[in-house]
Amino acid sequence: MPTQPPSAKADSHFSCFGHCPTCGTTHNLPDNPAIQPCLDLMKTLKNKKRIDLLSSDNNANPLLSTDYLYGPARGQMFGVMVCRHQDGSMGTFRAFSGQYNGIWHVDGWTPPLVAEKKFHNINHDVEKEIKELGRRINALDHSLEQQILKRTRKSLSQKLMKDIHALYQMTNFHGQTRSLQATFTGPGGIPTGTGDCCAPKLLNYAATHGLQPLGLAEFYWGKANKSGTRQHGSFYPSCKAKCQPILGFMLCGLHNVP
Protein backbone atom coordinates (compact mmCIF):
# COMPACT_ATOMS: atom_id res chain seq x y z
CA MET A 1 0.00 0.00 0.00
CA PRO A 2 1.20 3.56 -0.64
CA THR A 3 2.19 5.74 2.26
CA GLN A 4 1.92 9.47 2.63
CA PRO A 5 5.02 11.48 3.55
CA PRO A 6 5.38 11.56 7.35
CA SER A 7 5.87 14.85 9.12
CA ALA A 8 9.34 15.92 10.20
CA LYS A 9 8.49 14.83 13.75
CA ALA A 10 7.15 11.42 12.78
CA ASP A 11 8.87 8.27 13.94
CA SER A 12 10.90 6.49 11.30
CA HIS A 13 8.98 4.03 9.18
CA PHE A 14 10.74 0.99 7.76
CA SER A 15 9.88 0.51 4.08
CA CYS A 16 13.22 -1.08 3.10
CA PHE A 17 13.63 -4.45 4.84
CA GLY A 18 14.20 -8.17 4.40
CA HIS A 19 15.01 -11.31 6.34
CA CYS A 20 18.60 -12.52 6.21
CA PRO A 21 18.83 -16.34 6.29
CA THR A 22 22.53 -16.20 7.19
CA CYS A 23 22.14 -14.42 10.53
CA GLY A 24 18.42 -15.12 11.01
CA THR A 25 17.60 -11.42 11.42
CA THR A 26 15.16 -9.12 9.65
CA HIS A 27 17.18 -6.05 8.74
CA ASN A 28 15.63 -2.70 7.93
CA LEU A 29 16.41 0.89 7.04
CA PRO A 30 14.20 3.85 8.00
CA ASP A 31 12.65 5.97 5.30
CA ASN A 32 12.14 9.18 7.28
CA PRO A 33 15.63 10.66 6.61
CA ALA A 34 15.02 10.27 2.86
CA ILE A 35 11.44 11.58 2.67
CA GLN A 36 12.31 15.26 2.26
CA PRO A 37 14.99 14.55 -0.38
CA CYS A 38 12.34 12.51 -2.22
CA LEU A 39 9.92 15.42 -2.09
CA ASP A 40 12.67 17.69 -3.39
CA LEU A 41 13.31 15.25 -6.24
CA MET A 42 9.60 15.17 -7.08
CA LYS A 43 9.60 18.96 -7.31
CA THR A 44 12.65 18.88 -9.56
CA LEU A 45 11.11 16.26 -11.86
CA LYS A 46 7.92 18.30 -12.08
CA ASN A 47 9.80 21.47 -12.97
CA LYS A 48 12.51 20.04 -15.21
CA LYS A 49 10.30 17.43 -16.91
CA ARG A 50 13.35 15.24 -17.52
CA ILE A 51 15.72 13.04 -15.52
CA ASP A 52 19.06 14.09 -17.04
CA LEU A 53 19.31 16.68 -14.31
CA LEU A 54 23.04 17.35 -14.76
CA SER A 55 22.62 18.38 -18.40
CA SER A 56 21.83 21.89 -19.58
CA ASP A 57 18.50 22.50 -21.26
CA ASN A 58 20.26 22.77 -24.61
CA ASN A 59 21.90 19.36 -24.20
CA ALA A 60 18.92 17.52 -22.73
CA ASN A 61 18.27 14.05 -24.15
CA PRO A 62 14.66 13.78 -25.39
CA LEU A 63 14.68 10.08 -24.47
CA LEU A 64 15.06 11.13 -20.83
CA SER A 65 11.98 13.37 -20.78
CA THR A 66 9.38 12.55 -18.14
CA ASP A 67 6.81 12.48 -20.95
CA TYR A 68 7.93 8.85 -21.26
CA LEU A 69 6.34 8.15 -17.86
CA TYR A 70 2.89 9.25 -19.02
CA GLY A 71 2.76 7.20 -22.22
CA PRO A 72 2.16 3.50 -22.88
CA ALA A 73 5.15 2.54 -20.71
CA ARG A 74 3.43 4.23 -17.76
CA GLY A 75 5.24 5.36 -14.61
CA GLN A 76 8.32 4.18 -12.78
CA MET A 77 9.72 3.88 -9.28
CA PHE A 78 12.36 6.33 -8.03
CA GLY A 79 14.38 6.10 -4.83
CA VAL A 80 16.58 8.31 -2.68
CA MET A 81 19.17 7.19 -0.12
CA VAL A 82 20.76 9.43 2.50
CA CYS A 83 24.26 8.31 3.52
CA ARG A 84 27.18 9.21 5.71
CA HIS A 85 30.58 9.25 4.01
CA GLN A 86 33.67 7.89 5.76
CA ASP A 87 34.77 11.45 6.59
CA GLY A 88 31.47 12.07 8.38
CA SER A 89 29.92 14.24 5.67
CA MET A 90 26.42 13.53 4.39
CA GLY A 91 25.43 12.55 0.87
CA THR A 92 22.23 11.94 -1.07
CA PHE A 93 21.97 9.40 -3.90
CA ARG A 94 19.11 8.65 -6.24
CA ALA A 95 18.07 5.76 -8.49
CA PHE A 96 15.35 4.83 -10.95
CA SER A 97 14.06 1.28 -11.30
CA GLY A 98 15.20 -0.84 -14.23
CA GLN A 99 16.06 1.00 -17.42
CA TYR A 100 14.69 4.42 -18.31
CA ASN A 101 13.27 4.32 -21.82
CA GLY A 102 15.81 1.61 -22.68
CA ILE A 103 18.73 3.47 -21.07
CA TRP A 104 20.71 1.90 -18.21
CA HIS A 105 23.06 4.74 -17.26
CA VAL A 106 22.16 8.39 -16.65
CA ASP A 107 24.63 10.84 -15.12
CA GLY A 108 23.72 11.67 -11.55
CA TRP A 109 21.84 8.41 -10.96
CA THR A 110 23.12 5.27 -9.26
CA PRO A 111 24.22 2.66 -11.83
CA PRO A 112 22.66 -0.80 -12.21
CA LEU A 113 24.11 -3.90 -10.58
CA VAL A 114 24.78 -5.51 -13.93
CA ALA A 115 27.36 -4.44 -16.53
CA GLU A 116 25.44 -3.16 -19.54
CA LYS A 117 27.86 -4.61 -22.11
CA LYS A 118 27.74 -8.09 -20.58
CA PHE A 119 23.95 -7.92 -20.40
CA HIS A 120 23.74 -6.89 -24.05
CA ASN A 121 26.11 -9.67 -25.15
CA ILE A 122 24.02 -12.31 -23.41
CA ASN A 123 20.58 -10.92 -24.17
CA HIS A 124 20.66 -9.41 -27.68
CA ASP A 125 20.86 -12.42 -30.02
CA VAL A 126 18.83 -14.77 -27.84
CA GLU A 127 16.07 -12.19 -27.38
CA LYS A 128 15.86 -11.78 -31.15
CA GLU A 129 15.58 -15.56 -31.54
CA ILE A 130 12.83 -15.73 -28.90
CA LYS A 131 10.84 -12.99 -30.65
CA GLU A 132 11.23 -14.71 -34.01
CA LEU A 133 9.95 -17.96 -32.49
CA GLY A 134 6.98 -16.00 -31.15
CA ARG A 135 6.15 -14.72 -34.63
CA ARG A 136 6.36 -18.23 -36.06
CA ILE A 137 4.19 -19.62 -33.27
CA ASN A 138 1.52 -16.98 -33.86
CA ALA A 139 1.46 -17.77 -37.56
CA LEU A 140 0.64 -21.43 -36.93
CA ASP A 141 -2.64 -23.07 -36.03
CA HIS A 142 -2.69 -25.63 -33.24
CA SER A 143 -0.26 -28.23 -34.47
CA LEU A 144 2.63 -30.42 -33.43
CA GLU A 145 5.06 -27.94 -34.95
CA GLN A 146 3.59 -25.12 -32.90
CA GLN A 147 3.96 -27.12 -29.68
CA ILE A 148 7.57 -27.94 -30.51
CA LEU A 149 8.32 -24.27 -31.14
CA LYS A 150 6.66 -23.28 -27.86
CA ARG A 151 8.82 -25.76 -25.95
CA THR A 152 11.91 -24.44 -27.73
CA ARG A 153 11.00 -20.85 -26.87
CA LYS A 154 10.37 -21.74 -23.23
CA SER A 155 13.71 -23.52 -22.96
CA LEU A 156 15.54 -20.56 -24.51
CA SER A 157 13.78 -18.10 -22.20
CA GLN A 158 14.60 -20.11 -19.09
CA LYS A 159 18.27 -20.42 -20.04
CA LEU A 160 18.46 -16.71 -20.89
CA MET A 161 17.07 -15.76 -17.49
CA LYS A 162 19.57 -18.00 -15.70
CA ASP A 163 22.42 -16.47 -17.70
CA ILE A 164 21.19 -12.94 -16.93
CA HIS A 165 20.72 -13.68 -13.22
CA ALA A 166 24.30 -14.98 -13.09
CA LEU A 167 25.50 -11.48 -14.01
CA TYR A 168 24.08 -9.95 -10.83
CA GLN A 169 26.52 -9.82 -7.91
CA MET A 170 25.37 -8.25 -4.64
CA THR A 171 27.56 -6.96 -1.84
CA ASN A 172 26.42 -6.39 1.75
CA PHE A 173 27.90 -4.34 4.59
CA HIS A 174 30.06 -7.19 5.83
CA GLY A 175 31.81 -6.97 2.47
CA GLN A 176 30.35 -10.31 1.37
CA THR A 177 29.45 -10.70 -2.31
CA ARG A 178 27.01 -13.29 -3.62
CA SER A 179 25.21 -14.04 -6.86
CA LEU A 180 21.53 -13.32 -7.27
CA GLN A 181 20.79 -17.05 -7.24
CA ALA A 182 22.59 -17.46 -3.90
CA THR A 183 20.92 -14.38 -2.42
CA PHE A 184 17.27 -14.79 -3.41
CA THR A 185 15.09 -16.36 -0.69
CA GLY A 186 11.63 -16.01 -2.22
CA PRO A 187 9.34 -18.89 -3.24
CA GLY A 188 9.54 -20.25 -6.77
CA GLY A 189 11.78 -18.86 -9.48
CA ILE A 190 13.46 -15.47 -9.46
CA PRO A 191 11.07 -12.88 -10.97
CA THR A 192 12.18 -10.90 -14.01
CA GLY A 193 13.67 -7.57 -12.94
CA THR A 194 14.94 -8.75 -9.55
CA GLY A 195 17.95 -6.65 -8.63
CA ASP A 196 16.89 -3.77 -10.89
CA CYS A 197 14.75 -1.87 -8.40
CA CYS A 198 15.88 1.29 -6.62
CA ALA A 199 16.74 -0.16 -3.21
CA PRO A 200 19.13 -2.88 -4.48
CA LYS A 201 20.88 -0.38 -6.75
CA LEU A 202 21.33 2.12 -3.92
CA LEU A 203 22.38 -0.38 -1.24
CA ASN A 204 24.87 -2.14 -3.48
CA TYR A 205 26.40 1.21 -4.41
CA ALA A 206 26.70 2.16 -0.74
CA ALA A 207 28.23 -1.18 0.27
CA THR A 208 30.83 -1.02 -2.50
CA HIS A 209 31.75 2.65 -1.93
CA GLY A 210 32.22 2.78 1.84
CA LEU A 211 28.95 4.61 2.54
CA GLN A 212 26.70 4.17 5.58
CA PRO A 213 23.00 4.44 4.59
CA LEU A 214 20.89 6.33 7.10
CA GLY A 215 17.59 6.27 5.25
CA LEU A 216 15.99 5.16 1.99
CA ALA A 217 12.58 5.91 0.49
CA GLU A 218 10.94 5.09 -2.83
CA PHE A 219 8.08 6.73 -4.73
CA TYR A 220 6.16 6.24 -7.97
CA TRP A 221 6.15 8.92 -10.66
CA GLY A 222 4.00 9.00 -13.79
CA LYS A 223 0.84 7.38 -15.11
CA ALA A 224 -0.62 4.79 -12.74
CA ASN A 225 0.16 1.17 -13.58
CA LYS A 226 -2.57 -0.94 -15.20
CA SER A 227 -3.58 -2.63 -11.95
CA GLY A 228 -3.82 0.70 -10.14
CA THR A 229 -1.46 -0.45 -7.38
CA ARG A 230 1.02 2.34 -8.14
CA GLN A 231 -0.17 5.94 -8.05
CA HIS A 232 1.68 9.09 -9.06
CA GLY A 233 3.55 10.76 -6.21
CA SER A 234 2.90 8.02 -3.63
CA PHE A 235 5.52 6.32 -1.48
CA TYR A 236 5.79 2.52 -1.47
CA PRO A 237 7.82 -0.06 0.47
CA SER A 238 10.33 -2.23 -1.35
CA CYS A 239 8.39 -4.81 -3.35
CA LYS A 240 7.60 -8.15 -1.73
CA ALA A 241 8.28 -10.41 -4.72
CA LYS A 242 11.58 -9.04 -6.03
CA CYS A 243 13.24 -6.90 -3.35
CA GLN A 244 12.44 -8.26 0.09
CA PRO A 245 13.93 -11.72 -0.77
CA ILE A 246 17.34 -10.09 -1.42
CA LEU A 247 17.34 -7.07 0.91
CA GLY A 248 17.94 -9.15 4.05
CA PHE A 249 21.35 -10.17 2.72
CA MET A 250 22.09 -6.74 1.26
CA LEU A 251 21.37 -4.94 4.55
CA CYS A 252 23.30 -7.41 6.69
CA GLY A 253 26.18 -5.75 8.53
CA LEU A 254 24.81 -2.24 8.08
CA HIS A 255 24.50 -1.54 11.80
CA ASN A 256 28.10 -2.58 12.30
CA VAL A 257 29.34 0.10 9.91
CA PRO A 258 31.27 2.70 11.96
Question: What tens digit of pLDDT does each residue of 148-157 get?
Answer: 999 999 999 9
- Which pLDDT does position 196 carry in this prediction? 96
Residue 251, amino acid: L
User: How far apart, in whole angstroms, are the C-alpha atoms of residue 42 and residue 26?
Assistant: 30
Q: Read off the pTM.
A: 0.89
User: Does residue 92 sit in helix, strand or coil?
Assistant: strand
Helix axes 116-138, 144-165, angle to 10 degrees: 170
Alpha carbon 122 to chain centroid, angstroms? 20
Using only the alpha carbons of the chain, give its radius of gyration: 20
- Which pLDDT does position 257 carry in this prediction? 58
Starting at the earlier edge strand, list the strands of the sheet with 76-84. Answer: 90-96, 76-84, 212-221
Helix axes 244-251, 198-208, angle to 10 degrees: 20
CA angle 64, 68, 70 (to 5 degrees): 145
Phi-psi region of 109 (alpha: psi -120 to 50; beta: other; left: phi over 0): beta
Q: Low-confidence residues of the chain, pLDDT below 70?
A: 1-12, 256-258
- Which pLDDT does position 116 carry in this prediction? 87
In sequence order, which residues have a C-beta less than 8 Å from that of residue 230 and are 6 or more positions away?
2, 75, 77, 220, 224, 236
Identify whether the C-beta of residue 193 lies closer than 8 Å to the C-beta of residue 9.
Answer: no
- Which pLDDT does position 142 carry in this prediction? 86
Question: What tens digit of pLDDT does each residue of 23-52 get?
Answer: 999 999 999 999 999 999 999 999 999 999
- Which pLDDT does position 167 carry in this prediction? 93
